[in-house]
Structure 1
Amino acid sequence: MTEQHAASKVQFLTVGEEDHGQRLDNFLMRHFRKAPKALIYRIIRKGEVRVNKGRSKVSNRIESGDVVRVPPMRLPQTDKVEDSEIPADELRQIEQAILYEDADLMVVNKPSGVAVHGGGGIRYGLIEVLRALRPRAKRLELVHRIDRDTSGCILVAKKASVLKALHQQMRDDQFEKRYLAIVSGVWPKNVSKVDLPLRKDHLPNGGWHVKVAQDGKSALSYFEVKQHLNGCDLMAVRLKTGRTHQIRVHALAQGCALVGDDRYGDRELNKRFRKKGMKRLALHAHILGFTHPNTEQKMRIEAPLWADFKRLIEEQSL
C-alpha cells in the first residue's frame, strides 16, 4: 500500500521498541514523509491524533506499545522528491559539508538557507539530500534541528537504535551545543547568564513567534563576548535548553538582536550589514559534543565558519 493511499483512511500505528521515547511529531513525520510539517502539527493540535485514545501534544514522548490513531490526510501528489530533482551542485555542496561519518551516524556543517527537511512549500531539505547521497542508508533521520537560516552542526543517525540512544542523551542533558553569534550593538557588561522563560505563540499563518513570558518554558543560555567588532559583538553561546529561537530571543532581551535576524532584529541595521555581505542570520552551530552510542567514544565536532560569517568578522574587526 502506498503512503498516499494509506493516508486516505484512519490508521492505527503501534509504536515499536525502536521508536520508544521519540517525540510524537517526529514519529508521524517518519511514517508520513510526504506530509508537510504544518499538517502534522495541525492535526495534533486539533486533537485528531490520539495516543491510546487520548489527546497528545506535539512534544509528548511515545512509548513502546502505544497505539497512535492518525486521521485521514490529503497528502500532496507531487511531494516525492526524486534524486534527479536535486541539482548536482547542491548534492556536491552537502557532500563536501560532511564533517564526520561512520556506519552509525554523520555530522554535517549545514549551510545557511538550507532547511533541515522539506515541507511547508519547500521541496526538499538537508535530510532529503542526504538520503539521495546515501541511498543504502535506509533509516537516515535527523537527531535534532536548527533553523533554516542558521548554519553549522547537524547530527544525523543512520540506525533507529542510534537515533534512540542519541535522543536519550539529549533528554539526560549529555549533549554539548555551542554557537557563535554576531549581535548588534555592545553586549551589556556582566551579563553572561540569561535565564528567561520563553513562550511560543502560534500565528494564524501556521508560523510562530517566540517571546519572553513568565508562563513560558524555562530557557537557559550562557553568553560570552569573544570579540568586540565595529557596531557589533561576536559572542560564544552555550545552551542548557533547546527552545525554539532561544538564542535570538534571549539576545534580543538584552537589547542586542542578532545581525541578519529578519524576525526579531532591526530592519535598517540588517540592511547595512547586507551591504557588507552578511545577507543571512549571523548564527552558527559551532560545536557539537556527544557520546558515540556504539563505540562510547566522546565526540566533539567543530564546524568551520562559512565564508560570509568569517569575512564579516575580519572586515568589522577593530
Structure 2
Amino acid sequence: MTCYYPRMPEMPQSPASRVVHAQVTRDEDGQRVDNFLMRRLKGVPRSRIYRLLRKGEVRVNKGRCKPDYRLSVGDVVRIPPVTRSEKKLEDLPLPEGLARTLAESVLLEDDDLLILNKPAGLPVHGGSGVPVGVIEGLRRLRPEAGFLELAHRLDRETSGCLVLARNRPALLAFHELLRHGGVDKVYHTLVAGHWQGGPRRVVQSLSRTERRGEVRLVQVDEEGQDADSFFTPRQGFAEATLMDVQIGTGRTHQIRVHAAHEGHPVAGDRHYGDFEFNRRMRRLGLKRQFLHAASLRFTLPTRGCAYDVVAPLDPALEQVLEKLEPR
C-alpha cells in the first residue's frame, strides 16, 4: 500500500534570510562598499558588517573586496543573509530630546549640503553602546531625503561645524577639496600652560597605536601620515591659553596629539591630557575636552557656491573661560 502525504508548503523567505544581488546606481557611484552596506543593512552593527567583508561573504562582481573599495555604476554587490536578532534601528522611536537638538543645531542647508553645529557628546554615527548618532538621527528626521552622508567626521567630544552632503556630486567635490587643502577649518581650543613664541606651525607625522577601550590612540611617528597644524594664541590665562588652530590635514586626534607634543595638552583631554590640569579645570565646570570646530570656509566647485560658516561656542565652554583667572 502506497501512502501519499501532503507536501508541506514552503515558508516564504524574509529579505534578511536570502542572498541579495544589488546593482550600484548612479547616486551610489564612488561610495565605499562598507558605507554602501551600512545603508542597505540598517540596524546591523558595524562590527558585523566588517566581519562579513573580512570573511568574503560580501562580493563585488563575484570577487572579494576590502571595506575601502569604491563602487562604480553597474557593479553588482552580493549581500549575504543577515539575521537581525534585535529590533531594527529605524523602527525605534527617535528620542524627542535628540530630535529637537539636531533640528536646532542646523546652521545652513541648501540643495547640496547640510552643516550643523554638532553638540559635544554626540557621535557622528552610532556604534557600540550608542545606537543613534548624528547621521542616523538626521536620516530619520528627514525620511524623504534620498541621500544624506557624512562628508567628514568630528570626535564624539568635539563640538562645532560638521558637513553632510545631500547628493553624491557634492560629497565627492567636498572630499576633493579636503584632499587638496581647499577647506579652511579653524578650531578653538584651550590648552594647558603659557604658550610661548606666538603663532607656530606644528608639522609632525602621526600613526595609530594601541587601542584603549573603544578608542584607537595616535602618536607622533616619523613613519606615519603627514600632518600639520597652525596654532595661534588668542587669549592668555593664569594657567592656560585659548588658541585658534588651523589644520592643513584632517588626521585622527591631530590637534590633540600635536598640542600634547608641544607640551600644551588640550584641557579635558582624557587620553593625551594632563591629569592634574584636567582636575583643576573640572572644578571650573569643564566636563569635556575643550575643542570646538569654530568655522569653515570653502567654495564647492559643483556650483561655484562659496560657504563661510561659523558655529557659536558652546555656552558651557564660555562659562569656563569666564571663570579662568586672567594672566
Whether these two folds match at TM > 0.5 is yes
Q: Does residue 246 of structure 2 align to residue 257 of structure 1?
A: no
Instruction: Report the CA distance between 1:143 and its aligned residue.
Output: 1.2
Q: Does residue 155 of structure 2 align to residue 143 of structure 1?
A: no
**Superposed counterparts of 1:119-268, under 5 Å:** 119-189=127-197, 192-201=200-209, 203=211, 207-268=215-276
Q: Does residue 302 of structure 2 align to residue 302 of structure 1?
A: no
SS at match of 1:99: strand
Matched with 2:10 is none
Q: For this pair of structures, how many residues does the alignment match?
A: 313
Instruction: Report the CA distance between 1:8 and its aligned residue.
Output: 5.1
Q: Does residue 290 of structure 2 align to residue 282 of structure 1?
A: yes
Structure-2 separation of matches of 1:5 and 1:201? 42
Structure-2 separation of matches of 1:246 and 1:209? 11
Alignment match of 1:109 (pick from 117, 123, 129): 117
Instruction: Report the CA distance between 1:226 and its aligned residue.
Output: 1.4
Are the counterparts in 1 of residues 173 and 302 from structure 2 also a CA contact under 8 Å?
A: no
Unaligned segments of structure 1, at least 5 residues: none
SS at match of 1:183: strand
**Superposed counterparts of 1:16-95, under 5 Å:** 16-44=25-53, 53-56=63-66, 58-68=67-77, 73-75=82-84, 77-82=86-91, 84-87=93-96, 89-95=97-103
Map Cα deviations across residues 90-123 of structure 1 (whole Å, 9 max, x no partner).
Answer: 2222212111112332110011011112121212
Comparing 143-152 with 96-105, greater Cα deviation is found at: 96-105
Structure-1 separation of matches of 2:296 and 2:315? 20
Structure-2 separation of matches of 1:46 and 1:256? 44
Instruction: Report the CA distance between 1:249 and its aligned residue.
Output: 0.9
Instruction: Report the CA distance between 1:307 and its aligned residue.
Output: 0.4
Counterpart of 1:121, as a letter, is G
Instruction: Report the CA distance between 1:259 and its aligned residue.
Output: 0.6
- C-alpha change, 1:229 and 1:42, in structure 2 (3 Å) is farther
Counterpart of 2:144, as a letter, is R
Matched with 2:5 is none
Map Cα deviations across residues 133-152 of structure 1 (whole Å, 9 max, x no partner).
Answer: 32322322211110110000
Counterpart of 2:36, as a letter, is F
Are the counterparts in 2 of residues 97 and 109 from structure 1 also a CA contact under 8 Å?
A: yes
Instruction: Report the CA distance between 1:260 and its aligned residue.
Output: 0.8
- C-alpha change, 1:235 and 1:39, in structure 2 (3 Å) is farther
Structure-1 separation of matches of 2:53 and 2:317? 38
Map Cα deviations across residues 279-315 of structure 1 (whole Å, 9 max, x no partner).
Answer: 0010001111232455422101010101011122222
Counterpart of 2:218, as a letter, is V
Matched with 2:107 is 99
RMSD: 2.8
Structure-2 separation of matches of 1:256 and 1:137? 43
Comparing 264-273 with 4-13, greater Cα deviation is found at: 4-13
Counterpart of 1:147, as a letter, is D
SS at match of 1:156: strand
Structure-2 separation of matches of 1:76 and 1:178? 43
Comparing 115-124 with 65-74, greater Cα deviation is found at: 65-74
Are the counterparts in 2 of residues 183 and 251 from structure 1 also a CA contact under 8 Å?
A: yes
SS at match of 1:244: coil
Structure-1 separation of matches of 2:207 and 2:242? 26
Are the counterparts in 2 of residues 79 and 123 from structure 1 also a CA contact under 8 Å?
A: no
Map Cα deviations across residues 46-91 of structure 1 (whole Å, 9 max, x no partner).
Answer: 66655562543x445444455555555454522414473412x322
Map Cα deviations across residues 222-263 of structure 1 (whole Å, 9 max, x no partner).
Answer: 111111123111111111111111111111111111111112
SS at match of 1:91: helix
Structure-2 separation of matches of 1:147 and 1:278? 17
Counterpart of 1:19, as a letter, is E
Q: Does residue 321 of structure 2 align to residue 313 of structure 1?
A: yes
SS at match of 1:203: strand
Structure-2 separation of matches of 1:285 and 1:106? 15
Larger Rg: 2
Q: With the length of structure 1 as denominator, give the TM-score of the two structures.
A: 0.86
